[in-house]
Structure 1
Amino acid sequence: MKFDPVQLALLIVTAATAAIWVAAVVRHRRGRRVRRRVDASALPLLAGAATVAASLGLLRVAGPLTPGDVLLVGFVAAVVAVRVRREERLSPLPQEITLFLAGLAVFFAGGAIAELFGAEPSFVEYTRALIGAGVPLLAWLVWRPRWDQVVFASGAAVVLTVVHILYAIPFQEEGRRLLGWASQYNHFATAAMLLVPAAVLLAVIARSRPARLGWTAAFVVLAVGIVLSGSRAALGGLLVFGALGVVLWFRSRTVIAAPLALLLLAGSYVAFINVASESLVEYNAVTRALGLHESGALSDQTRDVLVDDAWSRVTERPAIGTGFARTANVHNIYLQAWDVAGALGLLGLAVMTLAAVLMGVRARRRQAGEIVPAVGLVAFFAHMNFNNSFWDRYMWLSIGLMLATYCASRVRRSDHLLEHNTEQVRVS
C-alpha cells in the first residue's frame, strides 16, 4: 500500500494522538501526576496540540476550513488556556465515564486495523472521525468544569441553538425540511436532539418560575426544530428520552419534567399544524414517521439497498472491516461501525452504549444533573439505530457536555456530602 507524504504524516500524527489519548485516560482515571510533578492534564493538552496539527493536515487533503474546524480548534485552545491556569489535581473519573472512553478507544483501534488492511480505507475520514470524537471529549474532561460552569455552557448552547432555529424557520422553503446550520437534515436534528437534555435540566434546576418557563419554551423550540427537520430518528430519540425519563424519575421530585416534556411536544405539534402552511405540515418528522408522506417510503427503499450492501461487506470481512471510505452510507451506526471498523469497532460501540446505560443505572434519581444526561445519552444511542451522524464533529461537543455535566454533578454531590459529614462531626 502506497501513501503520499501528507497521508503518511497524518497517519503518524493520528497514531501519536491515539497513544497520548489512551495514556491520558489512564492517568485521569487514577487521578495521578506524571513524572517531574507535571499535572496529568499535560497529556491531553499534548494530544490537543497533535490534533490541531492533524487538522491543519486535513485542510490540505480534504479542502477548505469549515465552521466545525473553527469551533473545534477554538474550543481546544480555550480549554488549554483555562487548564494551564488551574493547578488543582484532577479528581478520578467515574468508572462509567472511563468505560465510555475505553469503548471509543476500542472503536478507533478497530478502525486503525481496518484502515491498514481493509479494502476501502480513507485516512482522511478516519482521522477526521478520530479528531471530531476524541478531542471534544478530552477537552471537556480535561477542563472538568464546575457545576456553575456546566450550567452556563448548557444555557449558552441551548440559547444559541434556539435563536438559530427561530431565525431559520421563517426562511424555510415550502416543501423543504428545516436544515439549520448543518449540511444535512438528519445531522441538524441530531444536534438539536442532543441539546434537549440540557434544556430539560435547566428547566428542572431553575429556581424561579420565569426561568422554568423560559427553559421549557426553549425545549419546545428544540422539539419543533426536530419535527420540522423531518428526521424520524431524532423524533424517536426525543420520545425515548421522554419515556425513559418517566420510568427513571417516577418516584422523584422531578417526575413532572418528563411527562410535561411529552405534553409540550404534543401541544407544540398541534399548534404547529394550525399555523404552518399546508406543505410544511405535510413534510415533517411526524408525517414521515406515520407514512403520511411519500418521502418516508422512498427513503426507506434507499436505506434498504444500503443496508443490504453493508451486510454483504460485513459477511465478507466480519473481523477486520472495510475501512472508512463509506462512513455515511448506512443509517444504522452499529451496522456502520461493523462495516467500517470490523468486530473491534462494533465491540467498542457496544461498550459505549453499555457505559451510557450504566450511567443511568448508577445515577441518583433525585440528582437531575446525573439522570438527565444519562437518559440523554441512552436516547442518543437508541436513535443511532436509524441514523449515521456519528461522525459529525459538532455533535461530540454536546456529548462531551453531557459527560461533563454528569461528572460535575457527581463532584457537587460528593462535596455536599463531605460538608454535611464535617458539620455533623463539629456538632457532635
Structure 2
Amino acid sequence: MVGRVLAQAMWPFMLVAFVFVTRDQLLFAAAAFILSGFLIALIGLGPDRLGRYIVIAALLTAPINDKDLRPLPGGPVTFSDVFLLLGFALLLPALTRRGVVLPLDWVLGALIIMFLVLITALLVEAPVEALGYGTRLVATAVVIPFLFLIWRPERRTIEILVWAYIVGQLGSIAWAVVEHHSRWDGLATHPNFFGMAGTTALALLVHKWFTTTGRERSLALAAAVVVAGGIYMSGSRAALIVTVVMALIVPFVERTSASAFSVLAGGVIALLVLQWAIRYAGEDSALGRLTGGGTAEGSDTERRDKLAIGIDKWTHSPIWGNAFDGTALDAHNIYLEVAIGIGVVGLFGFLLVLWSGSRSLFTDHPLRRLSYPAVAFAATGMLTNSLWDRFVWCAVALSILAVIPLTGEDLPPDEPDAQDSPSLPHDTKVATL
C-alpha cells in the first residue's frame, strides 16, 4: 500500500523530469515517457505482479508478428519476444526461490537439442551462422517452455494467458477484415502464419469450451466461429486440413455425446454445402487453393522441389545432421528441417519435446485439454516451415504445463463435462530440482 501511494506521488515529478531532459528529442521523450510509466508500475505493483501482466501481454501479442510491427521494423525480434524477456526477468527473483518440476521426456529432448545444435555448429565451415540459426530452435523449444515450467502459474493466470492469445488472434482477424486482401494475413508476416495462429487459437478454444460454462462458453463458441472464418480466408491449406483433423479428433478424445453430435452435424452440413462452396469459394481461400485454385499449383511445384533438395541434403549426414543455416526452413516440413539441421538423433529429441506437450491429452490431468495446441502444431508440422516461431511455441509451452502436477490450491472444481470425459490413469513422470 505504501509503495502504491509513493508511486502515485512520484509519477508527476518523474514524468516532468523525463520530458524536460528530453524536450528537444521526440523519440527520446516518448522513450522516457514509457520508462517512467514502467518504473511507476514497478513500484506500485511490484516485480511479481508486473511480470505476470507483461507475460500476459506477450501472449496477447504473440499472433501479431508483422515485420512492420516490431521494435525494429523488419528485424527478427517481435514485441512478444520483448514482453517475454522483460516479464520473466521481473519474475526471476521469485522463481529462483521455488522448486522446479520438469517432465523427464521434455528434459531429455531439450538436452539432445541443445547438445546437437552446439556440436553440429562447431563442425561446419560457418559455425557462427549455424549457431545463430540453431539457437532459435533452442530459444523456442527449450527456453520458452522452461520459463513457463519454472513459473508454474496458478490456474487462473493460465486461463488468462489462454484468453490473451485468443484475443490477440481476434484482433489480427479484425485487421484482416479492414485490409480486404484476397488472402488474409492480418497482423502476421504471411497468410500461412495467420492461418496457423488461427489453428492454435482454435485449439485453445477447445480447451475453453470443455472447461467453462455459461457466458464464457458462449464467448468461446462465438470466438471459434470467427477464428475458423479467419483460417478459411487465410488461404492456408495446411491450416484448413489441421482444423478438419482436429474436429475429427475431439469427439474421440473427449468421448462426449455433445461433441460427437456436433461433429456429425457439422459433417452432414459440410457435405451438403461442399459442392456449392467449391464452386463459389474465392480462388485464394483455403478451400479454393485446396482444390487447385489461386497460387496453389505454383506453391505445390516449389514445395516439391525444395522437399527433394531437403531430402538430398539430409542424406549427406542423416544421423547427426548438417547444422542449421540460411536454408534451414526451405523444406516446408519441420521434421525434415530438424533432421537436416541436427539429424535423426536431434529429431528424436524434438519429437520428445512435442510428445511432452501432447501426451497429457490422454490422461486425467485437470489441464489436459491444453495439449490440443501441441497436437495441432505436430500435425501442421508436416505441411509448414514454421519451426521456431514464437506465436506457436508460446501456446505449446502452455501445453507442456499440462504435464506437471497442479498444487492443491490450483486444483479446479469439477469441470462441466467431467462426467462424460475419459478417466485414464495420470502417469506424470517429472524431475524435481
Query: Given the two structures, how large is their TM-score scaled by the length of structure 1?
Result: 0.69
The CA distance in 1 between the partners of 2:237 and 2:268, in whole Å, is: 15
Query: Which residue matches 1:167?
Result: 175
The CA distance in 1 between the partners of 2:341 and 2:223, in whole Å, is: 37
Shift in Å at residue 146 of structure 1? Answer: 0.7
Query: Any gaps of 5 or more consecutive residues in structure 1?
Result: 1-62, 418-428
2:121 pairs with one of 115, 120, 124 = 115
Q: Deviations over 1:121-170 (max 9, x none)?
A: 53322223322333321221121111111111111221221122123123
Query: Which residue matches 2:41?
Result: none
After superposition, the Cα gap between the structure-2 partners of 1:204 and 1:354, relative to the gap in structure 1 and judged at 3 Å, is closer
8 Å CA contact 1:132, 1:394 repeated in 2: no
8 Å CA contact 1:114, 1:342 repeated in 2: no
- Look up the SS of the partner of 2:101 in the other structure: coil
8 Å CA contact 1:150, 1:404 repeated in 2: no
After superposition, the Cα gap between the structure-2 partners of 1:306 and 1:87, relative to the gap in structure 1 and judged at 3 Å, is closer
2:377 maps to 1:380: yes
After superposition, the Cα gap between the structure-2 partners of 1:406 and 1:347, relative to the gap in structure 1 and judged at 3 Å, is closer
Could you tell me the percent identity over the aligned residues? 22
Instruction: Tell me the matched-pair count.
Output: 342
The CA distance in 2 between the partners of 1:266 and 1:84, in whole Å, is: 55
8 Å CA contact 2:133, 2:324 repeated in 1: yes
2:76 maps to 1:70: no
Higher RCO (CA-CA < 8 Å; seq separation 6+) = 1
Q: Deviations over 1:359-400 (max 9, x none)?
A: 233x12xx6621x22233223212211111012123211111
8 Å CA contact 2:358, 2:400 repeated in 1: no
1:144 pairs with one of 138, 141, 152 = 152
Shift in Å at residue 306 of structure 1? Answer: 0.6
Query: Which residue matches 2:353?
Result: 352
2:231 pairs with one of 223, 226, 233 = 226
Q: Deviations over 1:33-71 (max 9, x none)?
A: xxxxxxxxxxxxxxxxxxxxxxxxxxxxxx867484432
2:104 maps to 1:102: no
Shift in Å at residue 340 of structure 1? Answer: 1.5
Q: How does 1:257-336 map to 2 (within 5 A)?
A: 257=259, 260=262, 281-289=282-290, 291-325=291-325, 326-336=327-337
The CA distance in 1 between the partners of 2:300 and 2:311, in whole Å, is: 16
Q: Deviations over 1:265-299 (max 9, x none)?
A: 99799999999x96x6221112222x241522221
Amino acid at match of 1:207: T
Query: Any gaps of 5 or more consecutive residues in structure 2?
Result: 1-71, 415-433
Bigger fraction of residues in helix: 1
2:395 pairs with one of 394, 398, 407 = 398
Shift in Å at residue 245 of structure 1? Answer: 1.3
Amino acid at match of 1:377: A
After superposition, the Cα gap between the structure-2 partners of 1:271 and 1:164, relative to the gap in structure 1 and judged at 3 Å, is farther
Query: Which residue matches 1:130?
Result: 138
Q: Deviations over 1:204-247 (max 9, x none)?
A: 22231x32221111111111111111111122222222222111
8 Å CA contact 2:154, 2:410 repeated in 1: no
- Look up the SS of the partner of 2:295 in the other structure: helix
Query: Which residue matches 1:81?
Result: 90
Query: Given the two structures, how large is their TM-score scaled by the length of structure 2?
Result: 0.69
- Look up the SS of the partner of 1:324 in the other structure: coil
Q: Deviations over 1:295-336 (max 9, x none)?
A: 222211111111111111111221232221122101111111
8 Å CA contact 1:242, 1:261 repeated in 2: yes
After superposition, the Cα gap between the structure-2 partners of 1:151 and 1:227, relative to the gap in structure 1 and judged at 3 Å, is same
Q: Which has the larger radius of gyration?
A: 2
After superposition, the Cα gap between the structure-2 partners of 1:109 and 1:187, relative to the gap in structure 1 and judged at 3 Å, is farther
The 10-residue stretch of structure 1 (114-123 or 319-328) with the greater mean CA deviation from structure 2: 114-123
